[in-house]
Structure 1
Amino acid sequence: MNDQSPINDTRKAELLSTVVEHVDITSFDARPIVDAMKKMSFTSRDLGRATDIYNQMLADKDCSIVLVIAGSTSAGGCMDLYAELVRNNMVDAIVATGASIVDMDFFEGLGHKHYQAKEIPDDDTLRSLYIDRIYDTYIDEVALQNVDHTIFEIAETLPAKAYSSRAFIREMGRYLTQNGAKDNSLVKLAFEHDVPIFCPAFTDSSAGFGLVKHQVDAMKAGKPYLTIDSIADFRELTDIKIKAGTTGLLMIGGGVPKNFVQDTVVCAEILGHDDCEVHKYAVQITVADVRDGACSSSTLQEAASWGKVSTALEQMVYAEATSVMPLLASDAYHRGHWKTREKRSFAKMFADD
């Protein structure tokens, strides 16, 4: 964790001069364009049906909704979109990659920014300037190291025991309510609205660096240290599925978060809940190709063969998520089914809340 200033500050400032502005789904009404797309074919019609299914989830008084996020859409401009879903009771739990939650949302919650790349110079040049690249988006590595330090500081204040990622992320949300620099942080809003966030690969993020430092320093001092319990993650999310009954999945990307949330049905059965419903609704937005047989590209219909998802109300949308999620989310926001939804407050299920 080196706070050394990069060389050539002028060049760095030039490259980090255009901030990514996150889309505001409340500022425009996508219903007319989504309605028009439903009458088209190809991906447009798929998106129209996916939007219908998400609206059905919101309108179903018995349905609890899990938002599943993989990839870098938060850095790419969807961060406030996800925050609005939490703010307006449009999702009840979140499963995501550590990068989405820690390196992107918590990062901005501390006051840092993502930047549009006006040009993509040689990546060795970026490294010399302490600039990290996500496709055409830049992150200041020095700012990212502040996240590492902050995670370390949070860990140092907590009792030395095992925590699920949900429990630790809740502490991150608590920290932002007292020290944050951004009201529209997903982590902060999830804390305030009792929406649990799970990151099944939590340490595959800046959190990992801070927690490793916490453990190493404690070991050197002969003191106990906290750990992240991934089994508790699985148990807690399965407990939510059992309590929720009817569930719907809104999934961006695939990977570990997608499989993790789908597996709760199987885990519930193993725990003796043979009456646990498969996920009734499911939407997945992805560009993954099924032909390689792996790489998180399995379809929702394939998941049905494992007893995880119903095939009646599922839709794959093969599109880059930042190009379609603003339409889907704006449509659902303006149709307003969320206004009469019961608030689940699943975070209150757990003893630490």
Structure 2
Amino acid sequence: MHQNTFTQNPTKPVDVKDRSIGELIDAMTHTGFQGRKLAESVHAWNNMLHEKNLTIFMGLTGAMVPAGMRKIILYLIENRLIDCLVSTGANIFHDCHEALGMKHYVGSHKADDRVLFENGIDRIYDVFAIEKEFRDTDNLIADFVQKLDDRPYSSREFIYLLGKEIEQLGGNEDSIIVSAYRNNIPIFIPALCDSSIGIGLAIARRENCNLKIIDQIKDVDEITQIVEKSEKTGVIYIGGGVPKNFIQQTEIVSSIMGIEGGGHDYAIQYTTDVPHWGGLSGCTFDEAVSWGKISTSAKKVQVFVDATIALPIVSHALFEKTKYLKRTYPIFNWTNGSGNSGLEINYI
């Protein structure tokens, strides 16, 4: 009798028992819907980590730091589960804020916002923060900016130096920006002006109108150099937005420059957005293949889930699966000349 090729792999109900998160993820591989996609994302990320000479990019959007995801990103950096971070300015601002000893607070989405405003409290859904403390951090960044040489900087250069400054000011050990500085992990912020870091830069510009600071086109050049000089690349997106497309478009820039990479080799995304509205945050990786942003043979996994649910589960599963892994990862050596940055990559 002819064997039906569609019914070779039956689903397996998840039973409740004493087991690790990694084991639970493995069990979810045999379920359906977003549970299975979450499991597939862990396996794809784990496979990336076992690849030789592969560079892993992460795009970070949303208010992940105020929501309590800061130490997870820190873990990914310090254990080289990612090699390059592209973030919104907001996440890095909030990280600086906490690194300097200030806090975000458990609040309520039902709070009366007029009362919060009268009391100087800002709300990020169900998280609170003190507006005066935010302004103190704005002014600290403005003061730091005025210590810099009057020349253009890429956001990578600027954030590297800001990380050094935060460390020298006694920034705590749990800081994304300080850890990236110490571990030579580049952080790009392609929409830096759209954040409280941008507010700090604007304050500095008002106080020193000749200040030249962030060259965002230099950002495009620098991150594209990483792709061009990497043997293979993988991408992981927390949300979508500007960081997602900024990483995606490196393959297009590279091909226009005559270096055909064929698209990123792995692609994972955790998002609550959907493709049928036509926006970038929800667009599928299949759509990205049509642009040449993702390889036609790439392992692609999109999980439609709140990242504050996915990140704790995924990171703990990866912690179990990579505990004894000796990964080959890139070391970035940047040189400056005539206002441009050159890059060499060595894998160790």
For 1:284, the equivalent position in structure 2 comes to 269
For 2:71, the equivalent position in structure 1 comes to 80
For 2:302, the equivalent position in structure 1 comes to 316
Corresponding residue SS for 2:283 = coil
Corresponding residue SS for 1:317 = strand
The answer to whether residue 45 in structure 2 is matched with residue 54 in structure 1 is yes
Q: Is the 8 A contact 1:248 1:279 kept in 2?
A: yes
For 1:35, the equivalent position in structure 2 comes to 26
Q: Within 2, Cα distance between the matches of 1:93 and 1:338?
A: 22
Which structure shows the bigger proportion of residues in strand conformation?
2
Corresponding residue SS for 2:229 = helix
Higher-Rg structure is: 2
Match of 2:86 among 95, 107, 111: 95
The answer to whether residue 177 in structure 2 is matched with residue 187 in structure 1 is yes
Q: Within 1, Cα distance between the matches of 2:178 and 2:21?
A: 27
For 1:176, the equivalent position in structure 2 comes to 166
Structure 1 pair 339–176 and aligned structure 2 pair: CA distance change class (3 A): farther
Q: Identity across aligned pairs (percent)?
A: 34
Q: Within 1, Cα distance between the matches of 2:295 and 2:331?
A: 25
Tell me by how many angstroms 1:250 deviates. Answer: 1.1
For 2:239, the equivalent position in structure 1 comes to 253
Corresponding residue SS for 2:144 = helix
Q: Within 2, Cα distance between the matches of 1:295 and 1:247?
A: 20
Q: Within 2, Cα distance between the matches of 1:349 and 1:196?
A: 10
Tell me by how many angstroms 1:216 deviates. Answer: 1.3
For 1:199, the equivalent position in structure 2 comes to 189
Deviates more, 1:305-314 or 1:281-290: 305-314
Corresponding residue SS for 1:121 = coil
Q: Within 1, Cα distance between the matches of 2:240 and 2:335?
A: 27
Point out which structure has higher relative CO (alpha carbons under 8 A, 6+ apart): 1
Q: Which runs of 5+ in 1 are unaligned?
A: 1-27
Q: Within 2, Cα distance between the matches of 1:337 and 1:263?
A: 33
Q: Within 2, Cα distance between the matches of 1:128 and 1:245?
A: 55
Instruction: Give the TM-score of the pair, scaled to structure 1.
Output: 0.87
Tell me by how many angstroms 1:121 deviates. Answer: 2.0
Letter in structure 2 aligned against 1:92: D
Tell me by how many angstroms 1:307 deviates. Answer: 0.3
Compute the RMSD of aligned alpha carbons. Answer: 1.7
The answer to whether residue 229 in structure 2 is matched with residue 227 in structure 1 is no
Corresponding residue SS for 2:203 = helix
Corresponding residue SS for 2:228 = helix
The answer to whether residue 327 in structure 2 is matched with residue 336 in structure 1 is no
Give the 5 Å matches for 1:137-176. 137-176=127-166
Structure 1 pair 233–29 and aligned structure 2 pair: CA distance change class (3 A): farther
Letter in structure 2 aligned against 1:279: H
Q: Is the 8 A contact 1:250 1:283 kept in 2?
A: yes
Q: Is the 8 A contact 2:245 2:280 kept in 1?
A: no
Structure 1 pair 163–108 and aligned structure 2 pair: CA distance change class (3 A): same
For 2:200, the equivalent position in structure 1 comes to 210
Tell me by how many angstroms 1:90 deviates. Answer: 1.1
Q: Is the 8 A contact 1:111 1:180 kept in 2?
A: no
Q: Within 2, Cα distance between the matches of 1:338 and 1:233?
A: 35
Which structure shows the bigger proportion of residues in helix conformation?
1
Letter in structure 1 aligned against 2:66: A
The count of aligned residue pairs is 319
Q: Within 1, Cα distance between the matches of 2:152 and 2:107?
A: 40
Letter in structure 2 aligned against 1:50: S
Q: Is the 8 A contact 1:58 1:338 kept in 2?
A: no
